[in-house]
Structure 1
Amino acid sequence: MPTATVPEPVEGYVPLAALPRPSGLAERLESVVRAARAGVPGAAPELLALLKPVIARYCRARIGGRDLSYLSADDVAQEVCIAVLQAVPGYEDRGGSFLHLVRAIAANKVADAFRAVSRDRSRPVSDVPENADLRDGPESHTLTADLGASLGRLLAGMPKLQQEILTLRVVVGLTSAETGKALGISPGNVRVTQCRALAKLRDSIHEQGLAEALLA
């Protein structure tokens, strides 16, 4: 009876249950990816567990409450997870970060979703946010939807890099260093761009008269 092949230990990889406390996402990812490529048992599920919440938050932030009819933000996130796992065997660490690849795959899948909807003119795209409080009356619901749509337009009007940094830092919750690795820029550049983006967003909110609505 043939014996099962036991994968060689992977340098830097320790099963999640054996870690005394959580490590930084970017650093943890690199060791888990190496283990997954080497076929270490449990590494691929752990990789998915690490990335799934990050990918879901990213897709929800980029898609927002837009109704893509047959595709939701979570559907897109699932496609991203599948694509990331498929990319692992061919991934080569050339001094970059696996987060950069993940962000690129997620951005492409989100863009694909919007292109698919734009080709289907029979299915309108709504700007109603998913987190609108359905317990409120119709007037409150409408005001909340209008506010969400207005904020979405303000963000969409910002430079692409500023949009990505605000999404990764504020919504996804990555650190400046992790965001820099995901975007291929320095942490200092991330902080400066984020500061400018937030200042621009604050100015736009006041110009559009949205400040009182946000504080209500």
Structure 2
Amino acid sequence: MTAATSTAPATPVAAPSRRKVTGMSDTAPEPASPDPLDELADAAASGDPDALGELLARLRPVIVRYCRARLGTVSHRHASADDVAQEVMLAVLGSLSRYRATGAGFLAFAYGIAANKVADAHRRRASDRSHPVAELPDVPGRHGPDPEQHAERVELHHQMRRMLGLLTAQQRDVLVLRVATGLSVAETATALSTTPGAVRIAQHRGLNRLRAELSSGSGTNSFPAARLD
């Protein structure tokens, strides 16, 4: 007679423990701090005169530097860079009530207007075959540069425009905003509606392109390369 085989009860299998993934947090990330210019623009659009004055005071130097970098400081038959900057400021002021409907930050909103005004100025200049108007004083001296200094300034402007023309549109815009207007990486990214990483890449490639041009001997020794570092 065969003995019955006793079967031991099966040992229950423990459920795998849920281990917390490293780097994950139950806490939601803190929202980014609002941009001061956005706050001023919101207040100005709501009718706050003090906010409007502060907003325009902060914006104007940036717009003037941008227009001068893109158009130069030599007067032209149609409009100087400062004239275009004034057009930009008036356009920003006139469009402020519609700013929030764009969904963009104020700096990107203002830069878009400035870029369009500069493009219009370039088109007007391209259609005009006349030469820029020389801002030469009747008597050289304290009232302005002498003819030689003026000629050097005009030549430097042409050389800088030629160098910037070697870059892609993104590289040129990044370098103009970073170098000429003095915006930070974050501010430049906001103005161009891109990321800080993309700004750094465009800046790096643009600077390398300019340095390669200068080292090849086809650039100009007068080009202010030190300002691009």
TM superposition score category, shorter chain reference: 0.7 to 0.9
The size of the alignment, in residue pairs, is 184
Are 2:104 and 1:73 aligned? no
Q: Which residue is equivalent to 2:193?
A: 184
The alpha-carbon deviation at position 146 of structure 1 amounts to 3.2
Q: Which residue is equivalent to 1:86?
A: 94
Note the 1:45-56 alignment, pairs <5 A: 45-56=53-64
Larger Rg: 2
Q: Structure 2: how far apart are the matches of 1:54 and 1:106?
A: 10
Deviations 1:48-91 (A, max 9, x none): 10100000000000001454223111000000000011111111
Contact 1:37 1:88 in 2 (8 A): yes
The alpha-carbon deviation at position 127 of structure 1 amounts to 10
Q: Structure 1: how far apart are the matches of 2:198 and 2:209?
A: 16
Higher helix share: 1
Q: 1:47 to 1:206 in 2, by over 3 A?
A: same
**TM-score, length-scaled by structure 2:** 0.71
Greater relative contact order: 1 or 2 (C-alpha under 8 angstroms, separation 6 or more)? 1
* Structure 2 letter corresponding to 1:210: T
Q: Which residue is equivalent to 1:113?
A: 121
* Structure 1 letter corresponding to 2:186: A
Q: Which residue is equivalent to 2:168?
A: 159
Note the 1:18-29 alignment, pairs <5 A: 27-29=35-37
Q: Structure 2: how far apart are the matches of 1:135 and 1:120?
A: 26
Q: 1:155 to 1:48 in 2, by over 3 A?
A: same
Deviations 1:130-185 (A, max 9, x none): xxxx65673x6645543432222011221111110000001101110110010011
Q: Structure 2: which 5+ residue stretches go unaligned?
A: 1-33, 136-143
Identity of aligned residues (%): 42
**TM-score, length-scaled by structure 1:** 0.75
Q: Secondary structure at the match of 1:42?
A: helix
Q: Which residue is equivalent to 2:206?
A: 197
Q: Structure 1: which 5+ residue stretches go unaligned?
A: 1-25, 129-133
Match of 1:60 among 68, 73, 77: 68
Match of 2:131 among 112, 115, 124: 124
Q: Secondary structure at the match of 2:79?
A: coil
After superposition, the CA RMSD in angstroms is 2.7
Q: 1:193 to 1:126 in 2, by over 3 A?
A: farther
Q: Structure 1: how far apart are the matches of 2:95 and 2:175?
A: 26
